[in-house]
Amino acid sequence: MNSPKHILLIIGGGIAAYKSSELIRLIKKSGMTVRCVLTESGAQFVTPMTLAALSENEVHTTLWSLKDETEMGHIQLSREADLVVVCPATANLLAKMAGGIADDLATTLLLATDTQVLAVPAMNLRMWNHPATQRNIEQLRRDGIIVMQPDEGDMACGEFGPGRLPEPPAVLAEIMNHVIGENIVGPNPLEGQPAFAPDQHRPLHGKHVLVTAGPTREPIDPVRYIANRSSGRQGFAIAAAAADAGAQVTLVAGPVHLPTPTGVMRVDVETALEMEAAVHDALPADVAIMVAAVADWRADTRADQKIKKQKGDAPAPLKLTENPDILAGLAKHSQRPGLLIGFAAETQKIDEHARAKLTKKGCDWIIANDVSGDVMGGAENSVHIVTADGTEIWARLPKPEVARRLVAKIVEEI
Ligand code: C5P
């Protein structure tokens, strides 16, 4: 059995620091050891006592501790780790790291270490979007530091957007991605969540898989929209299965009520135009699986005010414009993914229509689903895999099982 891996966790000062407690618990549960360094501002949000109790290790807070220095020098503290994780990495901490500033224990360790560093940013969305932060992140990535993408969503400050700390299971998945190779000792700490065995063979490690899922919603006026019955379940299951297989996954999701699978970077969009932009932003990708049921049309103009029904009047005319075909566009893109997969919802002549779509859209595989029954929004799917080499017909299966088999087929292909 391999010896347990050691994580040095540096906790910066932001409201997301409270999530470090859960992260420590998950790291420990996975059989790794963790030692914490708390910055002065981090200590405004979590106490050394909590971290020491959870990590079962002394917590380090200052450069000037004679006791720490005689027992374990600060350079050794970072060098004995298999991975240094900065979580939450505040805008300030990232800026200091990018600039090589070493003015406290955390930043001194980061400058002195030769161990791989993983930074998990969390900050207000304007701080995240600020050119200075983006410049620092680019610099850090060039310097070989892994910088996770923050989540999008509601923030503690009441705003909405990118900058949220990814959920602790996603951070753990990322940690595993980088210390894996040798077995992690211990049980799967993510039990009950989408299957992820830390000691499992992770064949998509190092690959970026892009998935679209769910419907798009095309506004007519501030209260009405055009949409469809897609639940997003098949796409979310595929994103989860790809993450389980070790891929870095970007999931561009239309409006659905589904939790983000563990270890998956989710980008929420509403319209087809937003989905297209998010897909292009996510490139390059090794594999793209376009599962979303993109609305074919959008309202030609979006009324600023609610369109009023007037007594005796004919219904308001609805003029439609065609949406871009995101899949076909990606097939012609200069950064076309090496394996491009489309879905096709069909109610009749499934193979014939799917094969025609394969050519028309310029993708490599079409997964045709027979939606004549209750597939759309349901728990199971019945698919035909149409490729240049022929057609495979799969029995009706639960959507997570379709996802698992599809990912296995992708692994075989690439
Ligand atoms: O043409 P149809 O809608 O049947 O094609 C379905 C496939 O094309 C799916 O993979 C879907 O995600 C993709 N698609 C797209 N952009 C559109 C329409 C469909 O990417 N505007």
DSSP secondary structure letters along 97-147 = HHHT---SHHHHHHHH--S-EEEEE---HHHHHSHHHHHHHHHHHHTT-EE
Q: How far apart are CA 22 and CA 8, in angstroms?
A: 15
Catalytic residues: 157
Choose the residue to mutate in 326, 352, 364 for probing ligand 1, maximizing ligand atoms within 8 Å of C-beta.
Answer: 326
**Residue 180: pLDDT over 70:** no
Three-class SS of residue 36? strand
Provide the residue type at 38 as one letter. L
Collect all residues with Cβ–Cβ distance below 8 Å to 338 and sequence separation of at least 6: 286, 287, 414
* Confidence grade of residue 196 (pLDDT, cut at 50, 70, 90): very low
User: Quick one: pLDDT at residue 398?
Assistant: 87
Answer with the residue of higher pLDDT: 195 or 268.
268
Answer with the residue of higher pLDDT: 378 or 187.
378
As for ligand 1, residues whose beta carbon falls within 6 Å of it are 212, 272, 290, 292, 294, 323, 325-327, 342-344
User: Quick one: pLDDT at residue 198?
Assistant: 37
The terminus-to-terminus CA distance of the chain in angstroms comes to 31
The full set of domains in the chain, from first to last, is 6-179 (3.40.50.1950), 208-304+315-413 (3.40.50.10300)
State the Rg of the chain over Cα: 24
User: Quick one: pLDDT at residue 66?
Assistant: 59
Compute the average pLDDT of residues 26-47. 94
pLDDT digits (tens, 9 = 90+) for 51-85: 999 999 999 998 777 566 666 667 778 778 999 99
pLDDT digits (tens, 9 = 90+) for 380-401: 888 899 999 888 888 888 888 8
Choose the residue to mutate in 294, 340, 381 for probing ligand 1, maximizing ligand atoms within 8 Å of C-beta.
Answer: 294
From atom 13 of ligand 1, which residue's Cα is the shortest distance away?
327
Q: What are phi and psi of 73, to 5 degrees?
A: -60, 150
pTM: 0.57
Ligand 1 centroid to residue 343 C-alpha, Å? 7
The answer to whether 84 touches 117, Cβ cutoff 8 Å, is yes
To 5 degrees, how large is the angle CA 206–CA 212–CA 215? 165
Burial class (CB in 10 A: 0-12, 13-18, 19+), 112: middle
**Residue 191: pLDDT over 90:** no
Q: Of 75, 169, 61, which is closest to residue 113 (Cα–Cα)?
A: 75
Q: How far apart are CA 228 and CA 94, in angstroms?
A: 42
Compute the average pLDDT of residues 212-233. 94
Compute the average pLDDT of residues 334-355. 92
Ligand 1 centroid to residue 210 C-alpha, Å? 15
User: Quick one: pLDDT at residue 1?
Assistant: 43
For the CA of 327, the nearest atom of ligand 1:
20
User: Quick one: pLDDT at residue 8?
Assistant: 97
Compute the average pLDDT of residues 40-57. 95
Ligand 1 centroid to residue 166 C-alpha, Å? 30
Answer with the residue of higher pLDDT: 17 or 380.
17
User: Quick one: pLDDT at residue 188?
Assistant: 41
User: Quick one: pLDDT at residue 190?
Assistant: 42
* Confidence grade of residue 183 (pLDDT, cut at 50, 70, 90): very low
Least-confidence region, from 5-14, 308-317, 341-350, 374-383? 374-383
**Residue 265: pLDDT over 50:** yes
The neighbour count for residue 132, using CB atoms within 10 Å, is 12
Choose the residue to mutate in 229, 327, 346, 376 for probing ligand 1, maximizing ligand atoms within 8 Å of C-beta.
Answer: 327
Compute the average pLDDT of residues 107-128. 93
Ligand 1 centroid to residue 282 C-alpha, Å? 18
Ligand 1 centroid to residue 295 C-alpha, Å? 8
Take residue 366 and report the two structure tokens written for it: 């079409």
Least-confidence region, from 40-54, 107-121, 193-207, 391-405? 193-207
Compute the average pLDDT of residues 41-52. 95
**Residue 405: pLDDT over 80:** yes
For the CA of 292, the nearest atom of ligand 1:
12
Task: Kindly report the average pLDDT of the chain as a whole number.
Answer: 87
pLDDT digits (tens, 9 = 90+) for 162-179: 788 988 988 998 888 777
The neighbour count for residue 409, using CB atoms within 10 Å, is 17
**Residue 156: pLDDT over 80:** no
Take residue 226 and report the two structure tokens written for it: 């055009």
